[in-house]
Amino acid sequence: MTKRENPKWNIVDASFVAGVTAPDRLPPPALAEVAFAGRSNVGKSSLLNTLLGRKGLVRTGQAPGTTRQLNFFGARAADGLELVLVDLPGYGFARRSKNERSSWGPLIENYLSKRVSLRAVVLLVDVRRGIEREERELIEYVSTATGASRRALPVIVVATKIDKLAASARKTAVVRVARELGHPAYGFSARTGEGRGELWHALRKAILTEG
């Protein structure tokens, strides 16, 4: 059990709810949602499986650009808390056609700016790769696009694959990511489970205080 792990937060039930390719196909906004964004290969599918405690629920190792739909996963914790984790398509446009690129934006932008049940956005950054233009753009978008109709969404940054750094270098690397982006950041490893408890703590706090 890693730091802050709480048995009551264990996910006792997790399932795929819907894969959505058009804004008018979104499931009803019945439960609090947290959306996960990050460049392809950042470790998003692995992180979601680790959070949900289910190895193969979210497909890992996909080629960049192959998941262009929003995937909704329902989860229920041992203490009864229910929420929905939303896997946004990975960005990083290198291997996509122009056509695919233009179909990525509107769906995500519509979801991020209008979804009433969305409580927080988790932005994943590979701890070794650091922050690039797309990460800044996404944060900028989330902090401005939601202005008129509701409160700005909290952004939680996750530095992924921290097992790739020496234990002594992890804390400094995560602090650097947080400082550069101006949002709280958590280190995470899907390989070892490090950071899982801390991230659940942050997610639950965002859901319970914003809800």
> Among 189, 200, 202, 204, which residue sits at the site for ligand GDP (rule: CB under 6 A)?
189
Give the Cα separation of 35 and 33 in Å (integer). 7
Measured CA to CA in angstroms, residue 202 lies from 51, 59, 62, 74 at distances of 12, 24, 27, 18
Applying CB under 6 A, the span of 103-111, 175-183, 186-194, 199-207 interacting with ligand GDP comes to: 186-194
Give the x-and-dash track for 55-74 against ligand GDP (CB under 6 A). -----xxx------------
> Among 34, 44, 84, 142, which residue sits at the site for ligand GDP (rule: CB under 6 A)?
44
Applying CB under 6 A, the span of 41-49, 74-82, 96-104, 169-177 interacting with ligand GDP comes to: 41-49
Applying CB under 6 A, the span of 20-28, 102-110, 139-147, 159-167 interacting with ligand GDP comes to: 159-167
Q: Is there binding between residue 90 and ligand GDP (CB under 6 A)? A: yes
> Among 68, 76, 129, 164, which residue sits at the site for ligand GDP (rule: CB under 6 A)?
164
Q: Which is nearer to ligand GDP, 74 or 195 (CB)?
A: 195
Q: Which is nearer to ligand GDP, 136 or 191 (CB)?
A: 191
Least spacing, CB of residue 45 vs ligand GDP, in Å: 3
